[in-house]
Structures are given as C-alpha cells and as structure tokens.
Amino acid sequence: MPVPLIPAGLTAPANSGVSELRHKRLAGLGKTVWMVVDAQSRLLLDPAPCLAELTGLKLTEVAKLGPFQVLAPETVEAATAIWTDLAARGHTRREAMKLKLPTGEWRLFDLNAEAFEESPGRHILLFHWREVCVQSSTAELIEQHREQAREDAVSASAAKDRFLASLSHELRTPLNPALLLASENAANESFPPEIRRDFDSIRKHIELEVHLIDDILDLTRVSQGKLALQMQPVDLHAIIREALTIVRAEMQDKRLMIAVQLEATAHWVMGDAVRLQQVFWNLFRNAAKFTPAAGRIVVTSRRSPDGTRWAGTIEDTGIGLTADEISRIFDAFAQGRHAGSGMSSKFGGLGLGLTISQGLVKAHGGEIRVASKGRDCGATFTIELPVVNPGRPGRAGSHPPTAANHTAGARGTPEHPAGRRVLVVEDHAGSRIALTALLRGRGYEVTSASCHAEAVECAAAAPFDLLISDIGLPDRDGYELMRELHGRYGLPGIALTGYGMEDDLVRSGAAGFSSHLTKPITARALDTALSRFHAGASKTKPNP
C-alpha cells in the first residue's frame, strides 16, 4: 500500500502534509504520472503509484530518490531548466523531453511542473508527465508535434485577431470626440470660412487615420476569409458613380479630367454594396493619387465576351507600373518603388488597398487585373464580376436605390422635432461630452451616463425617447443595457461601437438597437441615424 513518505527533517506535520489543494490537483490529473516534491529540500513527498510501474522500481525505493533520480541521473541539464522556470514563473512545460529511466531505457515525455503554496510558508512542486507514445514511430512522433504546432498557430492567430480588434478599438476611441467636433464645426455656418476650412482639414485627416486603421483590420479579415458579406442584388454602375463622388473633389483639385462611360447593359451583381464601393473607391483613389495634375481618368464598363460577366476598367494617365511592380502589386505592404522609399511621404498609405480590393473582388467570385506599359505610361485596372440574371432586374437605364445610394441619400439638415429626450451612455468622457453637446445643439434634451448601472438609474428616474449607447461599457455591455431598457420601457436605441466588426452589427440588431454607428462617428453620420430614428418613430414601425 503506497504511503506518502515524508523524509525526516521536513517541517510539516505528517497529517497536514497532504492538503485539500493537493488532493484536488492530483484528482484532476487522473492517471497521469505525477509526483509531489518539496520545494526547499527537493525531496519526493508523494509519488504516484504508477511511478513504480514506469520505473520498474518498488514504490518504497522510488520514494527514496530525488525527483530526477527517479528518471535518470543523465537528465541533469533538463532538470536545471525546469528549476529555473519554476523559480521564475511558477510553472514549466517541456515538450518531448527525452529522459532516461533507471532501467537504462530512454523514453519521451511531455512534462509539466507547477509550484504551489500548500500552506503558509510551505511550497510544494507538482510534477506530472505524460509519456509520449512509447511505441510510436518517428513519423507518428513528428505528426503529433505537427498537430501541436497547428493548434498553437490557430490559437496564436486567434490571439492576433483579438489583439487587432482591441488595438483598433483603442486607436479609434480618442478619434471619436475629435471627429465629432471637427465635423460639426466644419459645418457650422456661424464660423468664418477660414475657421471652417481648418476644421474641415482636421476632419479629413482624422478620417484618413480611420481609413488606415480600417485597412489593417480589413486585411486580416480578407486574408483569413473572415469577411461577412451582406449579399444582395446591387447595381454596379450606381456603386461606381457613388464611389466617384468620394474622390471627385480630389480629382478636381488636381484638374484631372474624369470620363465615365458605363456601357454594360447587364450591370447587376450579387454583392455587398458597401464592400464593392470600397473596391472602386480604392481604385479611384489610387488613380487620383498616382496621376499628375491635368491628367485623365477614364472609367468604362462593358459586358464580357461570353455575356456572363460585367467588366469594368479604370484607366489613368499616371506614373504607371514596371513589370516588377505589376508582379507584386496585390501583395500586402508592397507599394511600388515609386510610392516607397524616399517618395513615400509624397503618396502615403500603407499599400493595403489593392490587397484588400483583390480579396473583396475574389470573395464576390470576380477577378481584378492590372496592366501598364511601364513607368509614366499610366495604368489600367480591370475588374470582372459575374452578373446576376443577364436580363435586368431593374428598369433599364434607371438607378434603383442601392445601399450605396441610400447612405448618400441624407443630404441637408434633417429636421428634428423638439423635446426629444435622449439618454447618452458612453464611458469615454471626451466622446460623451462631445456627443452630448452636439445633441443639445440639435435641440435634444440630453441626460448622460458613463456606465450600465448609472444608465439604468437614469432610465428608472425619467422617461426617454431614445438611447444612444456605447457597446463597451465598464460594468456590463451595451447590448445588455439595450435589451433591458427596450424590454422595460420599449426604448429604441442607436449603438456606438469602436470595433468596426461585422459581428457587432448582428449583435446590436439582435439586442434591439435600430441602428449602429461605428466610432469614430461624424456629425453627418449621427444626423443620418437620428433622421432614420425619427422616420421609424413616425411610422411606428422601427426601421430594420
């Protein structure tokens, strides 16, 4: 019968030697080989019964040995590393450690060791190890470790995603009040034009920063095939016209001639309107960026020869591409030499736009290509996408509403009925103050809270018409708040998030938010969301 051996000279009384903590840990190990070692004396306190089987020694003999003598005197080097880890981190993990048994046989083990404070001042070490496939062939061994490497890579990749999401959040948060205030002041007609121009410049640069952050996030999503596309029939021509308006001012400043000749009769595809617009916007932005003043950008479309695809081209008279640059142009971070060393400040950007565009076009079952006759000979980008229904779902020549049209639809100042009571919940003080000021300026009665608990108190104390809430609150999240307040008072809500992740959109809808703004938000985006809320409220049926 195995009896824990407590060598003479150890301080702990025999009875309290085996603590509840130790029992719990050992119970969790099941049939693994383990031993308990005193941290100071390094003597074996408690060997597992199967240790005897493994070593071929009697348990009483095992108990007389030091932890590594159990295995073999030859394992000193590994043992030293283990003691170092234990002292520094309190635990260690050694994979596929070759140890010699007293029988003279070498075997492979995965060894784990942890340090515990069993009772005040008394530290024990728990070693447990799993023998790695005693009988296994080298091939099996390699496969086993490859599997482990795969698992590690997957978990590292997940960790990277989480890191990027939180990085994006952290980078965006301080931009939020800045963008809100700058966009509001840029549109404030009571300011002199030069002040408004300055604010507008601030706004533009903040938006640029946000685009860079978005690009990094998009890149990871594209490369991992994690894009959530909202597919619906979309009119590519409407999307192109819309994308063009975003860069037109820049083109005009450079006196670039824009010619648009969209002749494809079949121009409807199944796609995500926002993402497709991003693709064209990217290409237009590049064309504008890399074409010198007084150049020309020609946008055309036609049907592919076999009639199943829509083919569009964007041709510029810009700095063009060398053959070498063409071969790398869709690789991440691979802006051509023209845009890179020495001249990077001239063109800016991370060089992710085309990589992302290519990923997006592929995700739509399409293809993107580039051609150029060389440096300073301009470039032509061609995009092909499969058309839905070579007939046309819409009226010929008309422009049915698309998501792209829809977002740009809100022009002018929306009319807000007075006396709307809004509860603003946001833990970032700068954002909260800016948002409150903007809403008050629009005639809303605003109460603000900085966390879930405070918001619930506010809602219980006074009636509200609308909740505008951040999702990441310090105590509980905004989804929970929305569900509670919607359930209790039927309150509609607008969600604010900093993550910019598609999952957030789905979740905020499910929680009862009627719309969703990704931070940093502009005054215009806020106005659009507010007018949508009022439109929904007046129809009694909230907007989807």
Partner 1 sequence: MIASPTPLAALLVDDSEDDVFFMLRAAKAAGVGTTFHVARDGQEAKDYLAGAGGYADRTQFPLPKLMLLDLKLPYLSGLDLLEWLRAQPHLDGIVVIVLTSSQAPVDLNRAFQLGANSVLEKPTTPEKIRELVRIFRI
Please give the residue ranges that form the binding site for partner 1 (CB under 8 A): 238, 241-242, 244-245, 248, 252, 257-261, 263, 296, 298, 395-399, 405, 408
Task: Note the Cα 478 to chain centre separation in Å.
Answer: 19
d(CA 181, CA 202): 10
Q: Which is nearer to partner 1, 259 or 429 (CB)?
A: 259
Query: By C-beta, is 58 or 399 nearer to partner 1?
Result: 399
Q: Where are the alpha helices (DSSP H) in 442-495?
A: 452-461, 478-489
> C-beta of 240: minimal distance to partner 1 in Å?
9
**Environment class of 468 (CB within 10 Å of its CB; exposed 0-12, middle 13-18, buried 19+):** buried
* Residue closer to partner 1 (CB basis): 235 or 470: 235
Token pair in block for residue 197: 């121009």
Of 248 and 254, CB closest to partner 1: 248
Closest listed residue to residue 354, CA positions, set 278, 429, 405, 414: 278
Tokens of 135: 């009988």
DSSP state of 30: T
Q: How far is the CB of 274 from partner 1 (least distance, A)?
A: 16
What is the distance between the alpha carbons of residues 496 and 177, in angstroms, rounded to a whole number?
12
* For partner 1, the closer CB: 140 or 263: 263
Shortest spacing between CB 406 and partner 1, in angstroms: 12
Q: What does residue 37 show for φ and ψ, rounded to 5 degrees?
A: -125, 140
**In the structure encoding, which two tokens stand for residue 432, read together?**
């909260």
CA gap 511, 521 in Å, rounded: 21
User: Where on the phi/psi map is residue 517: left (φ > 0), alpha (ψ -120 to 50), or beta?
Assistant: beta
Instruction: For residue 237, give the nearest of 199, 265, 274 by alpha carbon.
Output: 265
CB of 264 to partner 1, least distance (A): 12
Query: Residue 42 corresponds to which tokens in the numbers above?
Result: 């390094």
Sheet with 445-449, side-by-side order of all strands: 445-449, 421-425, 466-470, 493-497, 513-518
Measure the CA–CA gap between 167 and 170, rounded to whole angstroms: 5
As a whole number of Å, the end-to-end CA separation of the chain is 71
Q: At 314, which helix (H) or strand (E)?
A: strand 309-316
Phi, psi of 38 (to 5 degrees): -75, 130
For residues 274 and 298, which CB has a smaller minimum distance to partner 1 in the complex? Answer: 298
Calculate the alpha carbon distances from 82 to 55, 95, 403 in Å.
20, 12, 60
> What sections of 464-522 are H helices per DSSP?
478-489, 502-511
Cβ 257 to partner 1 shortest distance, Å:
7
Minimum gap (Å) between residue 409 Cβ and partner 1: 10
Nearer to partner 1, 187 or 244 (CB): 244
Residue whose CB is less far from partner 1, 113 or 287: 287
Question: How many Å apart are CA 216 and CA 161, to the nearest integer?
Answer: 11
> What is the DSSP secondary structure assignment for residue 432, as one 8-state letter?
H
Nearer to partner 1, 248 or 476 (CB): 248
Backbone angles phi, psi at 226, to 5 degrees: -105, 20
- Rounded to 10 deg, the angle between the 236-253 and 273-290 helix axes is 30
Question: d(Cα 263, Cα 227) in Å, to the nearest integer?
Answer: 30
Distance from C-alpha of 486 to C-alpha of 513, rounded to nearest angstrom: 9
Q: Which is nearer to partner 1, 196 or 296 (CB)?
A: 296
Residues 144, 149, 152, 157: is their CA dihedral positive or negative? negative
